[in-house]
Each structure stands twice: as C-alpha cells, then as structure tokens.
Amino acid sequence: MKRLPEFLAEIMAIAGRECRLIRQDSKLRSLLLIAPLLNAIIVCGVYAPAYVTEVPIVVVQQDFSALSHRMIRWLNQHQKLEVIQTLPDLNGAEKLFDQGKIAGYVVLEKNFSLRLKRNEEARVLLFCDAGNMVLANTLSVAVQGVVQTMSAGLSMHKARRLGAFKDQAQALAAPIRAEIRPIGNPSLSYADFMLPGMLLTVLQQVILLGLALSWAGERESQTSGELLSLSKRPWILLLGKNLPHFVLHFLWLLLFCGLVLPLSSVSSEAQIGSLFIFSLLFVTVMIAWGTWVSLVIGDRLGATQALMFLSVPSFILSGYTWPTASLPEALQWFSQILPLTHAATMFRKLYGAGFEISAFPRELGLLLLLLALHLLAAYVAVRRLQRGSQIPASVAPNS
C-alpha cells in the first residue's frame, strides 16, 4: 500500500496536468469558466422580477352602473393587471384572446348592480389562459383580491345601514363572488401545462446535437470530400444529408403527440392538419439552424457546446413558464431570435386547446422568417465548405 504523501503527490500531479489542459484548450476553458456564468445571468435575469405585473386583460361590460365602473377602475389600479379595453360583448374579447393579445377577460354580467340591490349574489367571471399556469394564477389571485375587497366594503356598508357591529358585518355573506373559468387547461393539470413544452425542448436538443455530430463530424473525420463529390449543388447536399434527420425527428414529434403525451394523461383537442403543418415547420427550422452552426464551427465539441449554450436557456426564455413580456428588455429581444419562443406558444395552444395554426399569424410569420434566414445561412455554409475542400479527381462526380 502506497504511503499517503506519495499518493497525494500523484493526485496533485494528475490534477496539475488537467489544469494545464484546461488552460491550453480555449473551448474547454470557455465551457467551464464562461458558460456557467452566462447561463446563470440568463436564468436570474428571467426570474429577477419575482412576480408578473401588468398582465393585459379586457373587461366585457354588460352592466353600466356606477358599481361596474368602480370595479373596472379597481381592476386597472391593481399592479398585476392592465385593463387595455372595455367591450360590450364576448365576441371581441374572445377574438383578442385567440390572437394572444390578452391573457384573459373579465365579464361583468347584465344586472350586476341590480342583483346586489336585491340582496342577491352577483358574479364576476374571469376567463383566463390556463395553458400558462403562471398567468392563470396571477390573474386568478388579482381578480379575486379585487372582488373580495369590494365585496367586503359592500358588506360593511350594508352592516352600517342595519346598525350591526364590525364582527357581525364580517359574518354577512359576501355579496360578490369571483368565478374562474380556465381556458386551454380546464383541469389546471400541471402535466397538461408542462409536458408538451418539455417534450418539444427535448426534441430540439436531440435535433441540434444530432446535426452537430453529423455535419461537424464530416469535417473532423475528413470525410467532407466524399460528401461533396456526390453533388455540386449546395441545396442538393443540404437536402440529401438532412433528409434522414428530418424524417426521423418528424416521426418522433408525431409519436410524442400521438402516443407519449396521451399515455401521460395530457388532454388534447389538437387539429390533425394544424399539428402536421406545425411539425413540418418546427423540425425544418431546427435542422436548418443546427446545420449552419455545426458547419461554421467545424468540430463536434465546439458545435455541441455552441448549440447547447443556445438550446438550454431557450425553454426558459420561450415564455412557456414565465411570460416573455415580464422579461428584462434585453432578454425579450434575445428570445425573439430563438425558434422555441414562437414554437412553444403555438404548440401549447395547438395541442391542448385545439387552435388552428391560422390563429397564430405573428408566431407563424416569425418562424418562417427564422427558417428563411437559417436556410440561407446553411446554404452559405455549404458553399464555404465546397470552396475550402479539395475534391480528388478520382471521386469527382460525372458530368
């Protein structure tokens, strides 16, 4: 058995050698020293506000009494709410909700004030986006707080008219009740909320890692010449090499939607056609993104590091768990260049609430724009690979 000082000396010698390797390898050094700090800054920046404020809602005002106007004013004065508009009917509110311009809408029913005058219970209805539980909880707590405050005030006023004492007033039934009606996740299931976004994120990481190993591996193993000998046209090279990845990951996404999520008891009202189009678009943009990054960096380790640095925080920045509007402004801008930001918003409502893909013109347009930019970058990267590679005459394609 070795003596302890000699044993420690061997450990320190090996550790010293590893420190020298880390110091000499810039990619490993950046992974160990820079990536953790940058990811920590992003994560802490997202959750630094601690709570969501000024969530946009509209009020459907079917009662035009002074009490209704007071309720609207109190809702708008709450720090977590922003009443952007009052509307006379539900159709306008539903349209704004479907367009993603509001997170919910409050309905003050007809005869709201009259029911109170008759000593009957009046309701305040809140329809909220339960697909995002942070928004749903924020709206629910805020609206219930306003309703309870106004209800308590009315009870005290009634008690004073009746000559009751404070403790007797507190025992009176609340004249106004808040009724929450969640949309998109009526059971408020955490699985319905979390699993679709997590599976989409998992697939994103698998796609990007696969492309990093495949395209960067061609250059690292010096087999790119063989690939380039098969065609002189960059778009043919892109399509041919990425086709197996596209088919495989497209089938994976369909399997997630058709089998994995249902087996996990995630409820769905998905429209098959819209889900099919979304799957095509999502897989294509991810493959285009992974292709050009892998080719620009050129080796497997570097490409993997770069893509994982972009992929890991993208779920946090996507607005899936924390509203994008509540992020610091710099992170809001950064989140818009990440495909998952737009894809996650669409997928949650396509799968869970049965929305048609046409209901997302903004997200669809931004995803198509990102797809065009990534395809252009991938095309340019393949052209650069062609110019930088010497193809032996013996393996050149036949004219």
User: Which residue segments constitute the domains of the chain, with CATH numbers given?
Assistant: 55-183 (3.40.1710.10), 190-391 (no CATH)
Structure confidence at residue 253 (pLDDT): 92
Q: Is the CB of residue 292 less than 8 Å from the CB of residue 377?
A: yes
Pairing of β 81-87 and β 176-183: unpaired
Amino acid at 188: L
Question: C-alpha angle with apex 365: 318 to 268, nearest 5 degrees?
Answer: 60
pLDDT at 127: 92
Q: Which residues of the chain have pLDDT under 70?
A: 1-4, 7, 10, 27-28, 30-32, 35-36, 39-40, 42-51, 157-174, 389-399
- pLDDT the model gives residue 280: 94
β-strands 81-87, 55-61 pairing: parallel
- Answer yes or no: are the C-beta atoms of 122 and 70 closer than 8 Å: no
DSSP string, 238-285: HHHHHHHHHHHHHHHHHHIIIIIHHHTT------HHHHHHHHHHHHHH
Q: Single out the residue of 45, 41, 36 nearest to residue 332, CA to CA.
A: 45
Task: Compute the Cα dihedral for 300, 302, 304, 306 and give only its sign.
Answer: negative
- Residue 330, both tokens: 């710099």
d(CA 87, CA 107): 9
Q: What is the pLDDT of residue 159?
A: 66
Q: CB of 84 within 8 A of CB of 56?
A: yes
pTM above 0.85, yes or no: no
pLDDT of residue 221: 77
pLDDT score for 398:
42
Unique residue bearing structure tokens 């320190």: 12
For helices 272-297 and 234-255, angle between their N-to-C axes, nearest 10 degrees: 130
CA distance 304 to 323: 28
CA 92 to chain CA centroid, nearest Å: 26
Residue 393: predicted pLDDT:
39
What separation in angstroms does the CA of 69 have from each of 59, 86, 91, 126, 208?
10, 10, 21, 17, 53
Q: What is the bridge-based pairing of β-strands 104-108 and 122-129?
A: antiparallel
Scored b (16 or more CB within 10 A) or e, 205-219 reads bbbbbbbbbbbbbbb
CA distance 80 to 140: 10
CB 89 within 8 Å of CB 96: no
Helix (H) or strand (E) holding 183: strand 176-183
Q: Is 106 helix (H, G, I), strand (E, B) or coil?
A: strand
pLDDT of residue 166: 52
Burial call 329-366: b when 16+ CB within 10 Å, e when fewer:
eebeebbeebbbbbbbbbbbbbbbbebebebbeebbeb
